[in-house]
């Protein structure tokens, strides 16, 4: 017999950015083997999580993370820019520039074909403020500086209002938005799980290995679909 779940145990599922632009071959910012996650994610969506949410990377055309929006249109993936807090320029950090992706209302911003999005209870939009990068589904990284968040999705409050204890994160990409979302979930006090089968990295297998190591170091539990922690979810009573 495997050990019982912790009590209380009220788990939520977050499906991060499972959108066409992150899927090969057509996506603008394709994550290797991204479509492999669709079947495992659909399986997880059939479990009785207390809450199931999907996120969408949802950028305005003027977003700061697009290489094309910077002088000389530097090459994406290998170029960076410095992002400053709009109210406090002393707070700044360097971030990667990307191809134009997930522009609001475009084909590429739609959920990936075959993703059973009818089973989610809602969609959280992220990366909406053109001035800041927002990998996490919760907030931009200035949240953790004294200058404070520029943009927050309300996800923390939504989970806390339902007394969620555990957050299970899957989706794209493991080394960017899944990782940032899981790190914030831990920082906000949730027991946090990343399910390997349901995620893939921009940096391929090497990117996945490094992301896993960094997440584990922060107290995130990286597990496979067969892990006992998912047995706890399956065994919950489906809510009416």
Q: Single out the residue of 20, 57, 140, 175 in contact with Zn ion (rule: CB under 5 A).
A: 57
Rounded Cα distance between 109 and 30, Å, is 13
The phi-psi region of residue 67 (left if phi > 0; otherwise alpha if psi is between -120 and 50; otherwise beta) is alpha
Q: Single out the residue of 14, 15, 17, 233 in contact with ligand VGL (rule: CB under 6 A).
A: 17
Considering CB distances under 5 to 8 angstroms, the limit depending on partner class, which of ligand VGL, Zn ion, none binds residue 173?
ligand VGL
111 touches ligand VGL by CB under 6 A = no
Q: Which residues carry out catalysis?
A: 17, 126, 177
Give whichever of 57 and 140 is closer to ligand VGL, judged by the CB atom: 57
173 touches ligand VGL by CB under 6 A = yes
Please, what is the angle between helix 179-187 and helix 204-217, to 10°? 10
Map residue 209 onto helix, strand or coil. helix
172 touches ligand VGL by CB under 6 A = yes
Report residue 11: phi and psi, to 5°. -90, 145
Considering CB distances under 5 to 8 angstroms, the limit depending on partner class, which of ligand VGL, Zn ion, none binds residue 5?
none
Query: What residue has token string 């997440």?
Result: 215
> Tokens for 41?
């994610």
58 touches ligand VGL by CB under 6 A = no
Which residues make up the interface to Zn ion (CB under 5 A)? Answer: 57, 127
């Amino acid at each position: 017999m495997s050990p019982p779940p912790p009590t209380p145990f009220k788990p939520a599922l977050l499906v991060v950015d499972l959108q066409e632009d992150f899927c090969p071959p057509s996506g603008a910012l394709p994550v290797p083997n991204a479509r492999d996650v669709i079947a495992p994610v659909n399986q997880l969506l059939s479990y009785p999580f207390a809450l199931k949410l999907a996120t969408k990377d949802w950028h305005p055309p003027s977003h700061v993370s697009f290489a094309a929006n910077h002088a000389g249109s530097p090459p994406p993936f290998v170029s960076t820019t410095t992002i400053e807090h709009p109210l406090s320029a002393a707070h700044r950090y360097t971030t990667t520039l990307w191809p134009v992706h997930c522009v609001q209302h475009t084909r590429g911003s739609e959920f990936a074909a075959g993703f059973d999005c009818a089973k989610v209870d809602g969609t959280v939009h992220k990366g909406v403020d053109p001035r800041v990068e927002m990998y996490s589904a919760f907030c931009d990284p200035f949240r953790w500086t004294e200058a404070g968040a520029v943009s927050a999705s309300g996800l923390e409050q939504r989970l806390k209002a339902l007394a969620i204890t555990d957050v299970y994160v899957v989706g794209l990409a493991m080394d960017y938005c899944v990782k940032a979302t899981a790190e914030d979930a831990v920082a906000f006090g949730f027991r946090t799980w990343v399910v390997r089968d349901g995620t893939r990295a921009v940096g391929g297998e090497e990117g996945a290995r490094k992301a896993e190591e960094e997440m584990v170091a922060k107290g995130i539990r990286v597990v496979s679909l067969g892990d006992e922690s998912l047995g706890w979810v399956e065994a919950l009573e489906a809510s009416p």
